[in-house]
Amino acid sequence: MLSISNPQKATQAETYYTKENYYQKNSEKGYFRGSALSEFGINENQTVTQETYLSLLHGFNPKDNRPLTKGAGSTERRAGIDLTFSAPKSVSTLLEIAEANSFDKMAIEIREAHDNAVKQTMEKVEKDYLYTRVSVNGKIQTVKADGMAYASFQHDTSRDLDPQLHTHNFIFTPVLKDGKFNAQTNEAFFNNKLYLGQFYRNELAYNLNKLGFTIEITSIEKGLFELKEVPKDIIDEFSKRSKEIQALEESYKKKYPKKSLVEIKAQITQESKKAKTKIDRDEVRATNKKRADSLGYNKKWLSKLVYRAENRPTLPQDRSKQALNYLNKSLTAITNQESTFSKEDILKYAMKFSLKYSLRESDIVKEFRNSNILKLDKNIYTTKEMIDIEKEIIQKVHQGFSSMPNSLNEIINQEEHQIDKLTSDQKKMLEMILNTKDRYNAVQGDAGTGKTYALGVLKKILKDDIELIGLSYTGKATAGLEEVGIKSHTLHSYLQQERKQNRDKPKLYIVDETSLVGSKQIHQLMKISQKENSRVIFIGDIKQFSSIQAGNAFSDMQKFGIKTVKLKETQRQKSNITKAIVKAYNQGDTDRALELLKENKLFKEIEDYEERIDYIVETYLNKNQPLILTSTNQERKEINHQIRNKLENPNQEHQFTIKESKQIKASNAYFSESYEVDDIISINGAIPKFKRGEQGRVISSDRNILKIETNSKQIKEIDLSKYGTEINAYTQTEKFFKAGEKIIFSKNIKNSPIKNGVMGTITDIENGNITTKLQNGKNYSFSIEDYNYIDYAYAITDIKSQGVSANSVLVLANSRMSSKNSFYVQVTRAKEKIEVVTDNQELLQERIKNPNNKKSTLNYQGEKNGKQPRYNGETRRDREPSAQTEQSNHRAEQRDKYDFRNIRGYIQAIKRRFRRPSLSKVREAFNLSKVQRADKTKRDAVIDKLGSKKQEMGIER
């Protein structure tokens, strides 16, 4: 574990490090380290003395007492910052027992394992994350520093005198740059804290594994481990301090709502510290020995450990193969969520995943050149697969221009024509869909502009000669499409189906909430549409939440030329105030949107967590029960709990066993450590020997193999390394429900209106059968024995609310979690009334100015200074197989026969790219072609010909 202090003033650091005598107690000597030590006349690993320490603390060179930076000697200057590395509890416990029983060799080796891991990590800090600010041409710039000095102090107890091996590394503010001293900056330390902490743990695991100990993962998500040889009961015996901090966490979360969990833990640690006094270490060790002896952890136990360690197999020799394996697994995991990533991102994943096998960062870095990693920009990486996928998405969009032989206007029911009932924007949307000959088109519709309603009209006016298929990332959105008559599927389930080719009936795919769909799924659907010769309409809103998966495909397609209709006429908002707020937000004026809320007394800042929750609950009870939106699951659960307790509902309560999603991140789904015995597993993809939708209970998990007992009592295994993302995991809990309860469904029921995210109100419960009235007004009944994926829905998270509308909405906006996207979703759910409550108005106002959009590889593939990427044109070699007519195939072959070095031949070839090309389309085709590689003179000549020969070549303006 790595903890980083706030920057400390000289007076603070002097008090903390000297007056309390915290570091200078006999065996706990400190040592100076860092490449800048020679400038001070200090040797590496020289013992810290108070005089030398205080000189550096106050900004003076201890060699000659010269000031090192401006403000030297000031009591208010920043003296430095402390990076503290703490060993896992099992390591600290084993060290204490070994020293208490005079197993000196084991104790020394454990200390050295920790110390070497710390030194390696601090060398990494100095090499890659040490920065300072300098003036370059009158401008202040942040640049890499050349060297630092720090004081390192190793301790082996907590303030409660429990075993806790840890090392403080106090980095002094003056750092070396080009032979001069400047003040160091701290941003890189904090930005890379998790990465550096993982670096230390992997170094420590490697060192301990060499000593013969076994690494046991305790959290794959956080990359934590313990020693398998040290049982839990002795760890618990020596964990008073950690239990004390855990006990205070909840109260501190409420007391300091503006702080993150990391900051809260740091504050608890600081405020609950007991001053270290001079203690008799031998007496403490003797007491600890008695505690360990009482549980059977004595010399005999240690002797067995020594024997096992000495006879344990050495580290595997195929470290290179293992490193490449885990690097590739990490690439799969990270590109499920992000198209691009930093070096620290991928190394952090790979180190966590390989921790069990004690791989070091250096092992993994060596395999970079053997992996599929490609560098896009400074510390921006991706894979060839992601580059190809996102490039091909745009290529397919352009290949789809004018590629359909007919428009849909030829197959509409004129007698059912209802377009006149629509807004002008909705009319434009349907006119584009009906008249286009492009394979792919997009509808960018602001929240509440009636996109789904317009699709219902489309369904009515199209004849049955075309198959209309709705697709969406969420089950709730598919339910909305089905309500207007469009048969729909979740995109994930549809892409996994085996489709029978229906050549008699063309298809039109409607992809709703496209902003939530990742690049891989968009690409997969495009390949299907080309094979079927079908059309796709992508519908969504780039201002709402982005995809959980990798990429930003919907935005990219709009940026790079897909024909798009924009809907801006809001239909959802009914009151003047909700219309004004949403209008301001849509115009990008977030300050004005907040100002309108405040002017109309619809905005409150309540710093205290408990007061904030109380206000939300009381407002719900007293003001017609608005829909409550929260930023976090924790807030949602707390509000739902309190509202249930305070609602006056006389109906009888019924206790049911409910399944709750474990919400395992895709990156962690491949590892057995993410699952526990008795977890419920649901199959949502194609896994050998399983049916989709089949369920079972985990009976064991080891070496990334889950052993499942299915509901039919069969024992089956799942290889997580292959199929980890094809399952959902749930835990079971007991909850009470009664008639009148607002609930939300969390799993789709096939061929029913029940989808993940759909809400309803319980109207009756009898003999385990629950009847609900859904938001669309329809009733639905189900047996709790057959389906128990429900939860309370007085409050829901904002991401669950996308696509939802309500007359009155009450928003609990967590300032730390807010973004332009999230707040946009929150304020656009309301028809009549909106009220916003936050913990920090200033921070909220700052955060909602910035969108939280995902990056794609297309952000980096083009030229610098904002120029768009160029793409090679379609050729026979790389064109996807499609159901084109013989005539179009013949045209393509003839086009490829032209000598592109001949200008007129090239123009004729390009003319064949479009039936009636406009000059803009011809220019676009030119830019997409491989002729871009020709010399500038020839390219200019082609452009001139395009301009001067428009009429001769049949080119329209």
- Cβ proximity of 471 and 493 under 8 Å: no
Extract the residue ranges of the chain whose pLDDT is less than 50. 19-26, 863-901, 914, 928, 930-936, 951-957
In 226-342, which ranges are continuous DSSP H helix? Answer: 232-237, 240-255, 261-271, 281-294, 299-310, 319-334
Could you count the other beta carbons within 10 Å of the beta carbon of residue 819?
Answer: 18
What element of type H or E holds 32? Answer: strand 30-33
- Cβ proximity of 239 and 89 under 8 Å: yes
What amino acid occupies position 722?
K
* Domain spans, the chain: 2-238+279-309, 319-371, 388-567, 661-735, 886-948
Of 295, 335, 811, the closest CA to residue 549 belongs to: 335
What amino acid occupies position 158?
S
Provide the CA 316 distance to its chain's centre, in angstroms.
Answer: 33
Of 839, 869, 842, 845, the closest CA to residue 857 belongs to: 869
- What does each C-alpha distance from 156 to 99, 241, 389, 604 come to in angstroms? 11, 13, 52, 48
The pLDDT value given to residue 8: 85
Fold of 661-735: SH3 type barrels. (2.30.30)
The token duo for 888 is 């179009």
The token duo for 75 is 């009591």
The pLDDT value given to residue 192: 93
The pLDDT value given to residue 372: 85
The pLDDT value given to residue 879: 32
Task: Return the residue matching tokens 């070994």.
Answer: 98
Sheet hosting strand 440-445, strand order edge to edge: 488-490, 467-472, 507-512, 535-540, 440-445, 563-567
Handedness of CA 367, 370, 371, 375 (dihedral sign): positive
Task: Return the residue matching tokens 């041409």.
Answer: 137
Of 54, 52, 46, the closest CA to residue 15 belongs to: 54
- Cβ proximity of 857 and 387 under 8 Å: yes
The pLDDT value given to residue 947: 56
Distance of alpha carbon 48 from alpha carbon 41, whole angstroms: 13
Distance of alpha carbon 123 from alpha carbon 150, whole angstroms: 11
* Structural class in CATH, domain 388-567: alpha beta
Degrees (nearest 5) of the Cα angle 905, 910, 912?
Answer: 100
- What does each C-alpha distance from 808 to 308, 410, 626, 628 come to in angstroms? 66, 43, 5, 9
The pLDDT value given to residue 881: 34
- Cβ proximity of 652 and 854 under 8 Å: no
Q: What is the pLDDT of residues 333-387, one digit of tens each?
A: 899 889 999 999 999 999 999 998 889 999 999 998 888 898 999 999 999 999 9
Straight-line distance from the first to the last Cα atom of the chain, in angstroms, rounded to the nearest whole number: 65
- What does each C-alpha distance from 88 to 249, 292, 573, 597, 818 come to in angstroms? 20, 18, 54, 49, 34
- What does each C-alpha distance from 277 to 20, 21, 25 come to in angstroms? 7, 7, 9
Strands of 790-895, DSSP E: 790-792, 795-797, 806-813, 830-838
Q: Look up residue 878 and give its DSSP letter.
A: T
Question: Burial letters for 597-622: b for 16+ Cβ neighbours within 10 Å, e otherwise?
Answer: beeeebbbebeebeebbebbbebbee
DSSP-derived 3-state class of residue 464: coil
Please give the model's pTM, rounded to 2 decimal places: 0.79
